[in-house]
Amino acid sequence: MRDRPYRQTEEGKGHNPKKSLGQNFLIDPNIARWMVDYAQIGEQDVILEIGPGKGMLTREILNSPCSFLHIIEIDRTLAPFIEPLLKRHEARTSLIWGDVLTVNLRDLSPSPTKVLANIPYNITTPLIWQILEHLAPVGTKELVLMLQLDLAERLCAKPGTRDRSPLGITIERMGQAQIVKKVPPSVFWPAPRVESVIVQILLDNNYDLASKRSWRRLLKVAFARRRKTLTNNLACVYDFFKDKDQALKLLEELGLSPTVRAEELNADDWQRLYERILSL
């Protein structure tokens, strides 16, 4: 049986969501419960939740057997909703007030094993990069995230599709990402004008890849001008190749077409290209 109407309940609490922070609060406990159940949280898991809002997901995480929960929230006006939830669980919770993009996630102790969050859509890409860079090397193995559909599709895009992205390729080299559930706008307040999904990201290898500046730079340059060939994009950056002929020769050695575009390469192609460039 569903809980009483969510929208009336949430609107009656007197907190106006801040558009500048991309706040769309999760107000359906069934979705929060689904996320926690899907993550299969165990007694050894340390959870990081980002942007708890009014605590709908927080409450369900605290009902799980997790050993510890870190929370990061930028909006201190939400304290009346979050802090009472944590008072009953002080021994296994930590609350940081601040911008997650400026928090050194490596300093979280104990280190998170899983991240669950309804991520503000305006910081999705830099935040996932930060999680991969800071937390994957210290033990984070799973992310269960509420994301905007078009961003999720870029994370999960296959080779040869226009949604292919540097972040998606990096995740593919580190593990895998998949859309596991579609979520209607009605489970948020205010209801967003975009479609949302829950994405699972599993990390099982190359844990330090996202922290390698050379890898990040290669992908950034390769995708800088999507309509150009990979050869033209790489040849214009002199710390990769001295000229276009050298770029063409290397692609030929790797069995790649001189007219290939960045979006067409698979994860293994990128790894071979990266290793070959490092050897030059």
Residues annotated in the binding site for S-adenosyl-L-methionine, as ranges? Answer: 24, 26, 51, 73, 99, 118
Rounded Cα distance between 159 and 137, Å, is 26
Gap between the Cα atoms of 245 and 63, Å rounded: 60
CA distance 143 to 156: 14
Written as six digits, the tokens of 205 are 């290898």
Q: Binding site residues, as ranges?
A: 24, 26, 51, 73, 99, 118
Q: What value, to the nearest 5°, has the Cα angle with vertex 36 and ends 85 and 154?
A: 115
The two three-digit tokens of residue 248, written as one number? 């063409």
Judge if the upstream peptide bond of residue 80 is cis by omega within 30 degrees of 0. Answer: no
Residues 6+ apart with CB under 8 A from 273: 218, 250, 254, 256, 265
* CA gap 61, 35 in Å, rounded: 9
Question: Across the strands, what pairs with 146?
Answer: 118, 198
Q: Which residue has the tokens 């911008």?
A: 99
Can you list the positions of beta strands (E) in the chain?
Answer: 25-26, 46-50, 68-73, 93-97, 114-118, 142-148, 175-183, 188-189, 196-203
